[in-house]
């Protein structure tokens, strides 16, 4: 019996077309029905040189289900190469061609000698959601495009973090992580966003190590790159938000990269001094216990649930109620992620539930005693339920409806301050 | 459940006619296997012409019937694109579509946009492919067998 999923927080794997789009001058070629790109695209900063409305698509229909869509795929790739000027063409397959058994990989291999690279990522919806699809796209780049490099560039670090577009703050976050890494004297390399692209992809094999800042998304890519390109990786599970976590993050990255301890500490000191200067100035606001809620809940993917929970507990001293991870985390990763939620200051531990059903999450929120009004950070779906409990709500994760983010970031010292601003802006509105 | 499939073919072996070129649709009936049950003529006049045998070569026939088609629908020959000979405007298409509206789908080498839309309206599937008839029918009946019985097409 088919199951219904209430308030879904992710898309099908073909949603990875957004990851491709985030790579400047990379073009997704969709081998899917005509409605797929339309349904998967949103107005969240996805217009521009390439936008979902112009992605080449085989627009397969009943005929291709019966007779196969291989011919159409071949001509679509051929013509895309002719009429669209891109640096990298990524063929993404939807459910239909994979169900009926089109050999898309074979078709793509016919374009090995094309002037521009054409690669292929199987992103059928039944294989998983767009977090998985994002991994597939990176995998495709590693597997089909990159080659092992004999030379290494000293201090070069590839940074992998958010899933572009799925995460509202992806651009700002990546840039902030880059900034932090370069302050340690290392050279960051990322492939997504403005002024990054095929040249950055080409640089990947020359890196000394990969830095993955994510609880689970991308871990398979890191392992693949370690095997194929011989690049070791540092898996840092927590998105560093605020002073406590960011300092921890810098120390760990510094240690892994062999950066002198004094150097790391001086970077940390400079940031922390300013950070705590700001906190001190507003101490009266933070210490006024009627303003902010006593307990909080985060409803988001593992990335933010973990990062924000640590930040609110460690830096703001709030008490975590139950946290909800809604990204359909693979079962074999859940335990170690749940362990991370227990590593909080002041001997606090957060209970976490890996739940994708919005109804169940809302029932739990309604039935929990928050010792006052709740503070809920989550998707837009949580707005109504939080309002019904007279709580404070901040939209931080998918789906986002009441927030426009161009390049803001919640990462690092600066990101922590941003998040405090946003949360307290909501909180003080209650009294004004 | 039995259903019918209309095929455009000149030799009874390959799907080699465009929708507009078809003068005799081969109608196959599908039960647990498929068999040819009927040849359905598009225009009686053409059939008669064929039978009377007063023309010696096939080119003449098709040329003649093309003219006939144009006369019938008051369509100027300059407005007829391609060599389909089926230019009958919306009216001509409608007539031809109605002729096989008891079929579940139609299989031709090419089928124009107008005709596709008209078939869509009647919920008749269109398959424009250039393969042997047997292959086409095998694939189509396999597909219908699966979806009628709610079975997956997954390989």
Whether residue A136 sits in one domain with residue A82: yes
Look at residue B1 and tell me whether its pLDDT is greater than 60: yes
Residue A239 lies in a domain: yes
A67, closest residue in chain B (CA to CA): B139
Positive/negative CA dihedral, A144, A148, A149, A152 = positive
Residue A66, chain B, CB below 8 Å: the answer is yes
Structure confidence at residue A291 (pLDDT):
75
- Enumerate the residues of chain A whose CB falls inside 8 A of the CB of residue B136: 67
Does residue A392 sit in the same domain as residue A302?
yes
Show the DSSP H helices in chain B as ranges.
Answer: 44-52, 58-72, 89-99, 113-121, 133-148
Residues A139 and A197 occupy one common structural domain: no
Q: Provide the ipTM.
A: 0.72
pLDDT score at B84: 46
pLDDT digits (tens, 9 = 90+) for B38-52: 999 987 544 433 444
| Percentage above 70 pLDDT, chain B | 69
Tokens of B82: 């391609």
Asked if A62 lies within 8 A of B129 by C-beta distance, the reply is no
Scan for tokens 């601003």, then name that residue. A421
Interior/surface letters B97-114, b for 16+ CB within 10 angstroms, e for the rest: bebbeebbbbbbbbbbeb
- Domain match, A130 and A174 both: no
Query: How buried is residue A45: exposed, middle or buried, by Cβ count under 10 Å (0-12/13-18/19+)?
Result: middle
The residues spanned by each domain of chain B are 3-148
Asked if residue A19 belongs to a domain, the reply is yes
Query: Which band of pLDDT confidence, cut at 50, 70 and 90, is reported for residue B68?
Result: very low
**Is the pLDDT score of B74 beyond 70?**
no
**pLDDT class for B89, splitting at 50, 70, 90?**
low
Q: Does A1 touch chain B (CB under 8 A)?
A: no
Q: What is the pLDDT of residues B105-119, one digit of tens each?
A: 999 999 999 899 999
- Indicate if A100 and A179 belong to the same structural domain: no
Residue B78 has pLDDT above 70, yes or no: no
The pLDDT tens digits of the residues spanning B117-128 come to: 999 999 999 999
Closest CA to A402 of A390, A391, A393: A393
B residues 20-59 lying closer than 8 A (beta carbon) to A: none
Identify the domain containing residue A182 by its residue range: 156-270
At residue A92, the pLDDT reads: 96
Domain B3-148, classified CATH 3.30.420.130, yes or no: yes
Q: What is the pLDDT of residue A403?
A: 87
Q: What CATH number is attached to the domain comprising A331?
A: 3.40.50.1980
Cα–Cα distances (Å) from A149 to A196, A202, A203, A204, in that order, read 20, 10, 9, 9
Judged against a pLDDT cut of 80, whether residue B81 lies above it is answered with no
Structure tokens at A379: 């998707």
Tell me the C-alpha distance between A275 and A315, whole Å.
Answer: 11
Q: How many domains does chain A have?
A: 3
Q: Which two tokens stand for residue A15?
A: 């949603």
What are the CA-CA distances from residue A228 to residues A152, A204, A210, A220, B112 (Å)? 15, 12, 13, 12, 50
Judge: B127–A99 Cβ closer than 8 Å, yes or no: no
Contacts for A96 with CB less than 8 Å, ≥ 6 apart: A32, A33, A60, A64, A65, A69
Rounded alpha-carbon distances, angstroms, from residue A124 to A38, A193, A197, A429, B93: 16, 25, 25, 44, 38
Q: Which of A2, A63, A94 to mutate to test the interface with B (most CBs of B within 10 A)?
A: A63
pLDDT by residue for chain A (432 residues), tens digit each?
Answer: 567 788 889 999 999 999 999 999 999 999 999 888 888 887 788 888 998 888 999 999 999 999 999 999 999 999 999 999 999 999 999 999 998 889 999 999 999 999 999 999 999 988 899 999 999 999 999 999 999 999 999 999 999 998 999 998 999 999 999 999 999 999 999 999 999 999 999 999 999 999 999 999 999 999 999 999 999 999 999 999 999 999 999 999 999 999 999 999 999 999 999 999 999 999 998 887 677 888 999 999 999 999 999 999 999 989 999 999 999 999 999 999 999 999 999 999 999 999 999 999 999 999 999 998 999 999 999 999 999 999 999 999 989 888 899 999 999 999 999 999 999 999 888 876
Are A289 and A390 found together in one domain? yes
Closest CA–CA distance from residue A11 to any residue of chain B (Å): 21
The answer to whether the CB of A308 falls within 8 A of the CB of A396 is yes
- Contact list, A67 vs chain B (CB under 8 Å): 127, 129, 131, 136, 139
pLDDT at A174: 96
Residue in A with minimal Cα distance to B127: A63
A67·B131 Cβ contact <8 A: yes
Count CA atoms closer than 13 A to A113's CA, side-chain side: 1
**A190 and A55, same structural domain?**
no
The answer for A 251-310 residues in CB contact with B (under 8 A) is: none
């Amino acid at each position: 019996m088919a199951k219904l999923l209430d308030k879904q927080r992710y898309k099908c794997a073909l949603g990875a077309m957004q990851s491709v789009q985030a790579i400047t001058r990379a073009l997704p070629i969709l081998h899917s029905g005509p409605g797929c790109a339309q349904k998967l695209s949103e107005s969240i900063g996805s217009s521009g040189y390439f936008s979902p409305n112009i992605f080449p698509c085989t627009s397969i229909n009943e005929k291709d289900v019966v007779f196969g869509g291989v011919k159409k795929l071949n001509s679509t790739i051929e013509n895309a190469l002719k009429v669209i000027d891109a640096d990298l063409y990524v063929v993404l397959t939807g459910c239909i061609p994979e169900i009926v058994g089109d050999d898309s990989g074979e078709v793509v291999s016919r374009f090995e000698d094309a002037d521009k690279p054409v690669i292929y990522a199987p992103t059928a919806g039944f294989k998983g959601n767009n977090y998985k699809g994002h991994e597939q796209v990176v995998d495709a780049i590693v597997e089909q495009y990159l080659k092992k490099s004999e030379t290494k560039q000293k201090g070069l670090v590839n940074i992998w973090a958010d899933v572009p577009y799925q995460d509202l703050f992806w651009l700002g976050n990546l840039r902030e992580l880059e900034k932090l890494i370069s302050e340690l004297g290392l050279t960051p390399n990322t492939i997504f966003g403005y002024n990054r692209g095929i040249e950055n992809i080409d640089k990947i094999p020359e890196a000394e190590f990969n830095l993955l800042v994510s609880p689970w998304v991308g871990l398979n890519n890191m392992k693949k790159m370690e095997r194929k390109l011989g690049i070791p990786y540092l898996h840092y599970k927590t998105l560093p938000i605020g002073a406590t976590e960011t300092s921890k993050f810098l120390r760990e990255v510094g240690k892994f990269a062999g950066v002198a301890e004094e150097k790391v500490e001086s970077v940390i000191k400079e940031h922390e001094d300013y950070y705590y200067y700001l906190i001190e100035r507003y101490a009266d606001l933070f210490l006024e216990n009627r303003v902010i809620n006593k307990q909080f809940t985060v409803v988001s993917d593992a990335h933010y649930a973990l990062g924000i929970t640590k930040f609110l507990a460690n830096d703001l001293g709030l008490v975590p109620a139950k946290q909800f991870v809604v990204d359909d985390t693979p079962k074999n990763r859940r335990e170690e992620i749940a362990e991370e939620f227990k590593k909080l200051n002041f001997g606090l531990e957060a209970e976490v539930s890996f739940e994708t059903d919005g109804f169940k999450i809302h029932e739990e929120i309604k039935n929990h005693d928050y010792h006052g009004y709740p503070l809920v950070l989550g998707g837009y779906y949580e707005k109504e339920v939080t309002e019904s409990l007279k709580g404070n709500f901040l939209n931080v994760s998918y789906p986002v409806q009441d927030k426009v983010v161009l390049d803001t970031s919640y990462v690092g010292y600066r990101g922590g301050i941003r998040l405090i601003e946003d949360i307290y802006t909501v909180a003080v509105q209650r009294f004004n | 459940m039995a259903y019918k499939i209309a095929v455009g073919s000149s030799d009874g072996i390959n799907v080699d006619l465009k929708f507009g070129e078809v003068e005799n649709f081969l109608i196959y009936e599908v039960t647990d296997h498929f068999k040819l049950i009927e040849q359905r003529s598009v225009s009686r006049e053409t059939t008669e012409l064929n039978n009377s045998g007063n023309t010696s070569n096939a080119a003449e026939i098709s040329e003649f019937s093309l003219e006939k088609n144009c006369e019938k629908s008051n369509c100027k020959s300059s407005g007829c694109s391609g060599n389909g000979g089926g230019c009958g405007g919306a009216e001509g298409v409608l007539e031809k579509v109605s002729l096989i509206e008891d079929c579940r789908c139609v299989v031709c080498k090419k089928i124009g946009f107008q005709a596709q839309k008209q078939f869509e309206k009647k919920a008749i599937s269109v398959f424009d492919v250039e393969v042997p008839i047997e292959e086409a029918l095998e694939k189509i009946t396999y597909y219908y067998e699966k979806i009628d019985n709610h079975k997956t097409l997954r390989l």
